[in-house]
Amino acid sequence: MAKNSNFYPVILAGGRGTRFWPLSRRKRAKQLLALDGKQTMIQQTVARLLPLAPAKRLWIITNEDLRPAILKQLPKLPRAQVLAEPVGRNTAPAIGLAAFLLLRENPEAVIGLFPSDHVIADEEQYRETLERGIEIAAAGANIVVLGIRPSRAETGYGYIEAGSAFREALRVRRFTEKPDAEKAAEFVAAGNYFWNSGMFLWSARTLAEALREHLPKTAPLLEEIAGAFGTRKFAATFRRLYPKCENISVDYAVLEPRSAKGEQAGNIFCLPADFGWNDLGSWAALHEHHNAKSNPPEGNLVAGSGVFLLNARGNYVYAPGKFVAAVGVSDLVVVETPDALLITTRQHAQDVGKVVKYLDEKKMDKLT
Amino acid sequence: MAKNSNFYPVILAGGRGTRFWPLSRRKRAKQLLALDGKQTMIQQTVARLLPLAPAKRLWIITNEDLRPAILKQLPKLPRAQVLAEPVGRNTAPAIGLAAFLLLRENPEAVIGLFPSDHVIADEEQYRETLERGIEIAAAGANIVVLGIRPSRAETGYGYIEAGSAFREALRVRRFTEKPDAEKAAEFVAAGNYFWNSGMFLWSARTLAEALREHLPKTAPLLEEIAGAFGTRKFAATFRRLYPKCENISVDYAVLEPRSAKGEQAGNIFCLPADFGWNDLGSWAALHEHHNAKSNPPEGNLVAGSGVFLLNARGNYVYAPGKFVAAVGVSDLVVVETPDALLITTRQHAQDVGKVVKYLDEKKMDKLT
């Protein structure tokens, strides 16, 4: 299959990933950490997209805290294409800005939106899936969302309800918010529900039109910012106008109202994805991911200068440079950095974000 | 009551205290740590004895690893009276050496033997008890052991079975090894059993005679070492003869055979002690001790630069200089040093010595 030369990956890398505190910080967010292998999450994200699009077609949208580290980790990317939002405005303005920028560069541009902090086990399969999605997105005013077949009744993700088949994809009937446990179980049992991966494909034209329709006040601001790109005025224009954009997710602003038009009229397609996706949403998810890969004795994963385990099971310990002794403990998560020590359980790993919330409230900025 | 000017405290400070790893090390054993307050355990031990005997009558027996740190922590003690055993030979030779040394100095000397790493809550009561014991020890060929009224069916201590009353004391019927749980419960219920505190009082003469009787090969060696004290030959004599001494505890060598002579003939007396004794035998015991003193919220004791607790109960965390976050964890013990991280539970804190055993076996000397 010939590569589509109109394909432009746009990587969203403005998140904080607070659930990986104390390792993740404002200036070293989750996507900048090497949680799985030697490369960082964002380096892996870029590396698996480069076979589909060269660096000159690759864009990253992040924030000012993270931009310097991203440029350092990805020195071969065109610096101007690593954009730092002056303020966070959720995904709709970020994605909209990309649409208007790329529409100017190439009216036939097909945009792929990618989170920067997910793991993909089968990269070949991933790229093949994307190529099928790019074809659908390039064929008209279509929106393609990659849907992950649910392997458990997860309550931490949004779900996509799929309807009738269309080529290799399924028409989207509805996007749902994060369900409760009962509903999640129903969704999984039903068979036509998929996890929303946050990976989308659509033409720049379709996206620009959707924004003009659904965010009529924000769209002209984004167009004006895009118009200044490449000029001396760009930074100032970006800083002046971006804060005026609506603070809203693309799901809420575009996908939900559009899917409400009906399965046929919405033209949103779910492309089922089977490439071993994992969003590594917490220390517990990371533990599970590594455990499945390396199957260590008694399920203990320990990063340290040495280790002694006695009656210890299912623990995740990160304490580089230290000798770690774990005696009579199970299912703990312990993470140590030069200034902080996190002690929790795999079960409570979802609550680690609350530590950061507390530190934010107390303005203990050195620790965030 | 007039202070007895024949009283010589001898502090045994050669233990390693491996259950306080990773804080305790070969050159920084438990007695050199400030586990309770600002002073270290050995500084506290000396401070509470000084009202009974001035520094010039105070002796410490330790080893070569610990002697430099002890001299540093106790600069006012006569350096020559801080003796370092060339090799460890358990308590009988150490105590015997003290007896022969003090017999030369003062034929009426009454020796008090004290561990260096225990906590005493009521120091006034402690000294009053000692004064009563000194009187009994000075009165003849008596051995006085301070017995702690058991507050629980502890299996980690030896017990003293007491018989008939003698002045404020009770004649000792029998010394027992560490009992199992069932026996410990019986002992506590019986009412005439006491914990062996390891604190003894006896005259130098009585002790010297006991050694000549029970350790006839070792006693002359110790006499020869004592004879060289104060001369240039002392260090060499000590190094040459001490390794030839029997490796045996004073309990095993002297107290048990002597008590076997019978309650009347043995002349061993148990002085019941009610001064709030705690041997701080483990991180869990330390947690309990501090908890009783300071009653912190939810029983969490955290040493760190800051702390955030969420659904956390009964934890002991030592991570000085670090911000500690504990989320959804109970009854853990976590101790962090620059080179090591211990993660265990209060229940398993007794097993921490096994970490050191492992490190010893692997010859990982930097960590011990």
Stretches where chain A sits below pLDDT 70 are: 1-2
Return the ∠ at Cα B209 (arms to B203 and B213), rounded to 5°: 145
pLDDT digits (tens, 9 = 90+) for B44-76: 999 999 999 999 999 999 999 999 999 999 999
B305 vs A contacts (CB less than 8 Å): 339
If one counts every other C-beta atom within 10 angstroms of the C-beta of residue B107, the result is 11
Angle at B190 between CA B189 and CA B195, to 5 degrees: 85
Q: Do A339 and B305 touch (CB under 8 A)?
A: yes
| pLDDT under 70: residue ranges of chain B | 1-2
Closest Cβ opposite residue B327 in set A321, A355, A364? A355
pLDDT value at residue A2: 59
pLDDT of residue B168: 86
Minimum Cα–Cα distance from A331: chain B residue: B329
Question: Given this model, what pLDDT does residue A242 score?
Answer: 98
Residue from A20, A308, A348 whose CB has the most chain B CBs within 10 Å, to mutate: A308
pTM: 0.92
pLDDT of residue A58: 98
- Number of other residues whose CB lies within 10 A of the CB of residue B239: 13
The per-residue pLDDT for B264 is 85
Q: If we measure between CA atoms, which residue out of B289, B206, B318 comes closest to residue B255?
A: B206
Identify which of A310, A323, A367 has the shortest CB distance to residue B354. Answer: A310
CB contact under 8 A, A310 and B347: no
Mutation site, B311, B343, B348, B367, interface A, largest A CB count within 10 A: B343
Distance in angstroms (rounded) separating the CA atoms of residues A263 and A171: 6
pLDDT tens digit sequence for A309-345: 999 999 999 999 999 999 999 999 999 999 999 999 9
Q: How far is A156 from chain B (nearest CA, A)?
A: 19
Compute the nearest-CA separation of B319 from chain A (Å): 8
A343 vs B22, B317, B351: nearest CB:
B317
CB–CB contact B334 A341 (8 Å): yes
Chain A hits for B326, Cβ within 8 Å: 343-344
Q: What is the ipTM of this complex?
A: 0.91
In DSSP notation, A96-129 reads: HHHHHHHHHH-TT-EEEEEESS-EES-HHHHHHH
Residues in chain B with CB shorter than 8 Å from the CB of A340 are 322-325
Give the burial string for A52-63 (b: 16+ CB within 10 Å, else e): bbeeebbbbbbb
Query: Smallest Cβ distance to A334: which of B343, B352, B359?
Result: B343
Lookup result for tokens 């517990």: A284
3-state secondary structure (DSSP) of residue A320: coil
Count of CB pairs separated by less than 8 Å, A with B:
133
What structural domains and CATH numbers belong to chain B?
A: 7-278 (3.90.550.10), 283-367 (no CATH)
Residue of chain B minimizing CA distance to A339: B322
In B218-292, DSSP assigns E strands to 268-273, 277-278
Chain A, 302 to 361: residues with Cβ < 8 Å from chain B are: 304-306, 308, 310-311, 315, 317, 319, 321-329, 332, 334, 336, 339-345, 347-348, 351-352, 354-355, 358-359
